[in-house]
Chain A
Amino acid sequence: MPFEALVAGCLAYVALMFGVAFAADRAASRGRVRWLDHPAVYTLSLSVYCSAWTFYGAVGYATRSGLEFATIYLGPTIVFCGAWWGLRRLVRVARMHHVTSIADLISARFGKSNRLAALITLIAVIAATPYVALQLQSVSLSFEVFATDSLTDIPLAGGGGTALWVAAGLALFTIVFGTRNLAADERHHGVVTAIALEAVVKLMAFLALGVFVVWGLAEGPADMLDRIAQAAAGHDGWLLKPDRWTALIVVSGAAIIALPRMFQVLVVEAADEDRLAVAGWAFPAYLFAMSLFVLPIAVMGQQLLPADANPDLYVLTLPAQSGQNWLAFLVFLGGFSAATSMVVVCTIALATMISNHWLVPLWLILRRKPQTGDPEDLRGFVLNARRLAILAVMAVGWVYYRATGGTAALASMGLVAFTGMAQVLPAMIGGLLWRGANRQGAYAGVGTGFALWLALIFLPSVGIGQDPALPPSVDPLAFAICLSLALNTLAFIVFSIFGMPDPVERLQGLSFVSAVDPVRHGRMARGADQVEPLLVMARRVWGAEDALRFFQSEAAAQGKSGYLPDMTPRFLTRLERRLAGSIGAATAHAMIDSVAGGSELTVSDLMQVATEAQRAKEETQRLENARAELARTATQLREANDKLTALSIQKDAFLGQISHELRTPMTSVRAFSEILRSPDLSDADRDRFAKIIYDESGRLTRLLDDLLDLSVLESGQAQLSITPANLHDLIERALSAASATQPQRVFRLDREPLAEYVGVITDADRLLQVLINVISNARKYCDAEPPVLSIRVRRTLRGGAQIDIADNGSGIETARQALIFEKFSRLNDPARAGGAGLGLAICKEIMANLGGEITYLPGQGGAAFRIVLPRRPPVPADAGLRRA
């Protein structure tokens, strides 16, 4: 097959993956997740476990070590056989706590300690980087198989350029589909669907090759078995080594849970725990299918290919050698799928951990005031941190691959990663099952395991340090695995026993452990006499009505009438979930146990209850505050009512005053108009009386105008026309208009004209009205001789202006100063001079409408008023609404 065709086919395949991921993401964003959530998709996505190591390396492994390769399939198979018991609970806890990675899970269990998460992230990064490098190597190696004709002369690090392109493409894919959003549940539908498809390709390719090998190259299963037996004889890899095998089964079983990419697909991407029912048998079946033809391929490769051909590449070189170009291409795609899916998921998982546990905490520490950041800000940072981490992981993997020049055996790097992540497992399992496990224990265990793993496994694997000197009967890998895991577990237990967990940790511990064992069988199927206490308890939590409604509907669901359902596990579970929504999972569990299960409350249960009681107390406090708020509202309402009553009285008084003010001029008008009808009037009298009628009707009109004006101003509905104005001009106009009042009086003006040039933004006509009124009042009431009117203008600090207008008369007595701005305040004034006493009330309302005020200035040696203007008038409350 030409190399160009291979590249083209490969690119087409990559494009297909992009398309599938994009379509799945689109479907998910439109809420069509039904088929995306199918257990089959989930099971297939788990096959990310079968990386290029398994795809290519298993055959190489089998060639070198015989049946031992099977251990890496056996471990996961054993774990999945117990999926319904164990993994289901792991998934439940993880989803309950919205866990995003294995580091997150463990840190959440141990009091949400980020340092612990950071440590686990470090292990994951160290373990995974060579592993990523390995995948890049496998892809470039497989390219080389097609690029060169020779089977033996393939340089291990020959395709550096290929690896770079692959790394770049994978980084792009991962960034595009792995960091589209920050979903709360961290699910990536596009990625998972693409991986499920790749899993199918992987399986098909391997099965097709196996069939070809067994029936095409060999002569059927019987012949194949003969050949295998032949190969097994005298090969030390075929000897059963219990210690090594056990150790390998244990680590591979641990890896299926603890590897970052496995945790990602197994736990984080799982929508719920139910799909494990399918995956529990389907995934082992997948593994079995993948391993079925490993031995035949290995044996045939050994027999048909030159002795120095790389056994890791038998799967490719066998069909290529036999001229099966299409099969070789299919196998190539299978290997490519295995490598890419592993790299993508691994990178996403690592990037999530790096950004969540390294970069974001660092960022929050570096920023002095984290609370000032808005969530959007952090969200953007997290996404970018994740993209950066993806690039970094990919780049480090590539650099590692280039720097080490490729590793001879694919399998060994895989095992290094497995054993590294297995160090996390004791803390995880212990945390899930044992309430006494605590953070010190987790630190000690993970730390010990990490150190031993570094010293015994990781550093030797990269050529630093040496394997410890061991008797020949002891397998070094098994020794290292056993030692590190044993000391890890021991340290975890010892430190947990002697350490003291803090309250958060206790709470989390209880929550984790009780979720793992949510339904206690001991409290099932008791008599109805136990149900009533439950109802009493539920009433305390929800209130009588809600509790009765829940119990009645539960009883109805069981086909019973009344309020007391049978104590079925289903009912208890539902009750606990409902209660958990109100009072927290831990308390709900403890409460139901205490009533229904009869199991004893432990000290930590009680502590939990106390913690949550504290929360309840805070809630009560909140309610108390709400009650106080209500009381305040009631008081305010009462005040408002009093005010309304007072207003009503005022309104009556006001109507009386209006009546008086209207009747007075009408009396004159009516009397004189009757008088005018009499024939015997002198012309002078007639003229005089007509003028009185004219004046009094004018007075009536003015009164009505004032009343209307006042009511408009008081309601705040006055239409203001806001313009810039110069106070000097306004004062000039006001003086000239007011001179019509008592025109015979000549006032001396005391002004500072230059200071009056102050620009204001206001309703100039309304302000002019106020100025005229105040100046007219001065002209009317100033009783000094000679009368002096002084006007002062000043800018206020806030950009407004103030105008003081004072005369030199006797002023207003202190007692009346508070009243002059009231309506009809001049009613009993001897000098009311025909005015109804609305002028200053109108002025007051105008100034309020303009956002300023008018006040009486006492102690100025005469009547003095201060008019204060704001920088600009306030926008009326309803103006914004009208615009909107």
Chain B
Amino acid sequence: MLDILMIEDEPNIAEAVRFILSREGWQVALHADGAGGIEAIRGAKPRLVILDVMLPHRSGTEILAELRGDQDPSLAATPVLMLTARGQASLSLPQADAVLAKPFANDDLRAMVRRMLN
């Protein structure tokens, strides 16, 4: 079972996150577009979704809302970590389980993911 699905369009950020989390032993998959994001989640059924707020074609908030409304209750309850580049002001994303502002400390990312996976 896939540990983490990350939906992030910035290739360098995605690369960094995957590198950091892979070294902790988690299995990380990547989807680089808002479009197709929810299908990727449904297909992979990851234990954790890392979701960028600002995505091309479909925003992270929309994807999150659809996920929470999914018919499959276990899928709808998937923990979601939101990444945002909008600064502290937009940290209140009630449907997300956690929010991390870019740029982040790698330790914060690791700690947060670890807490959410356990």
Measuring CB to CB, which residues of chain A are less than 8 angstroms from any residue of chain B? 656, 659-660, 663-672, 674-675, 685, 692, 695-696, 827-830, 832
Contacts and interface: CB of A to CB of B under 8 A. Distances in A.
B85 A828 contact: no
B85 A660 contact: yes
The majority secondary structure among interface residues of chain B is loop
Contacts of B59: 828
A675 B86 contact: no
B33 A827 contact: no
Contact of A675 (B10, B20, B103): B20
A689 to B, nearest CB: 8
B44 interface: no
Interface in B19-44: 19-20, 33, 35
Contacts of B10: 664, 667-668
A247 B105 CA distance: 124
Contacts, number: 71
B83 to A, nearest CB: 8
B87 interface: yes
Contact of A666 (B20, B33, B103): B103
Contacts of B85: 659-660, 663-664, 667
B57 A669 contact: no
A695 B15 CA distance: 14
A668 B16 contact: yes
B56 A663 contact: no
B57 A664 contact: no
Contact of A827 (B16, B54, B104, B105): B54
Contacts of A666: 102-103
Nearest to B100: A667
Contacts of A830: 9, 33, 35, 56-57
A663 B105 contact: no
Contacts of A828: 54-57, 59
B30 to A, nearest CB: 15
A156 to B, nearest CB: 114
Given A659-B87, A685-B19, 11 more contacts: A666-B102, A667-B13, A668-B10, A670-B105, A671-B13, A672-B16, A696-B12, A828-B54, A828-B59, A830-B33, A830-B57
A660 B60 CA distance: 14
Interface of B: 9-10, 12-13, 15-17, 19-20, 33, 35, 54-57, 59, 85-87, 89, 101-106
Contact of B86 (A656, A665, A672, A674): A656
B103 A667 contact: yes
Which of A665, A669, A685, A827 has most B Cβ within 10 Å?
A665
B86 A660 contact: yes
B86 A659 contact: yes
Given A692-B12, A696-B12, A830-B57, A663 B102 contact: yes
Contacts of B106: 671, 674-675
Contacts of B87: 656, 659, 663
A696 B20 CA distance: 18
Contacts of A832: 56
Nearest to B9: A830
Contact of B56 (A660, A670, A829): A829
Contacts of B20: 671, 675
A824 to B, nearest CB: 11
Nearest to A680: B23
Contacts of B57: 828, 830
B19 to A, nearest CB: 6
B12 A670 contact: no
A784 B69 CA distance: 40
Contacts of A656: 86-87, 89
10 closest A-B pairs (Cβ-Cβ)? Answer: A671-B16, A668-B12, A667-B102, A667-B103, A830-B56, A663-B85, A670-B103, A660-B85, A674-B106, A666-B103
A668 B19 CA distance: 12
Contacts of A669: 103
A675 B16 CA distance: 8
**Which of A667, A674, A675, A832 has most B Cβ within 10 Å?**
A667
A829 B17 CA distance: 22
Contacts of A670: 103-105
A665 B13 CA distance: 8
Contacts of B86: 656, 659-660, 663
A663 B54 CA distance: 12
B82 to A, nearest CB: 14
27 contacts: A660-B85, A663-B85, A663-B101, A663-B102, A664-B85, A667-B13, A667-B104, A668-B10, A668-B13, A670-B103, A670-B105, A671-B17, A672-B12, A672-B16, A674-B105, A675-B16, A675-B20, A692-B12, A692-B16, A827-B54, A828-B54, A828-B55, A828-B56, A829-B56, A830-B9, A830-B33, A832-B56
A687 to B, nearest CB: 14
Nearest to B104: A667
Contacts of A674: 105-106
B89 to A, nearest CB: 8
Given A656-B86, A668-B10, A663 B16 contact: no
A691 to B, nearest CB: 10
Q: Which of B13, B17, B55 has most chain A Cβ within 10 Å?
A: B13
A670 B54 CA distance: 19
Contacts of A671: 13, 16-17, 20, 103-104, 106
Nearest to A688: B15
Nearest to B32: A830
Contacts of B55: 828
Given A674-B105, A675-B106, A660 B54 contact: yes
A681 to B, nearest CB: 10
A1 B118 CA distance: 143
Nearest to A826: B56
B13 A664 contact: yes
Contacts of B102: 663-664, 666-667
- Which of B20, B35, B86, B103 has the most C-beta atoms of chain A within 10 angstroms of its own C-beta? B103
Nearest to B57: A830
Nearest to A666: B103
Q: Which of A660, A696, A832 is packed against the most chain B CB atoms within 10 Å? A: A660
A672 B10 CA distance: 14
A696 B11 CA distance: 11
B22 to A, nearest CB: 11
A667 B15 CA distance: 11
Contacts of B104: 667, 670-671
A833 to B, nearest CB: 11
Contacts of A696: 12
A663 B84 CA distance: 9
Contacts of A663: 85-87, 101-103
Contacts of A668: 10, 12-13, 16
Contacts of A659: 85-87
A125 to B, nearest CB: 93
Contacts of B35: 830
**Which residue of A664, A671, A695 has the most chain B CB atoms within 10 A of its CB atom?**
A671
Nearest to A828: B56
A669 B35 CA distance: 27
Nearest to A660: B85
Contacts of A692: 12, 15-16
Nearest to A827: B54
A552 B33 CA distance: 85
A668 to B, nearest CB: 4
Nearest to B15: A692
A829 B34 CA distance: 11
B11 to A, nearest CB: 9
A832 B56 CA distance: 9
Nearest to A670: B103
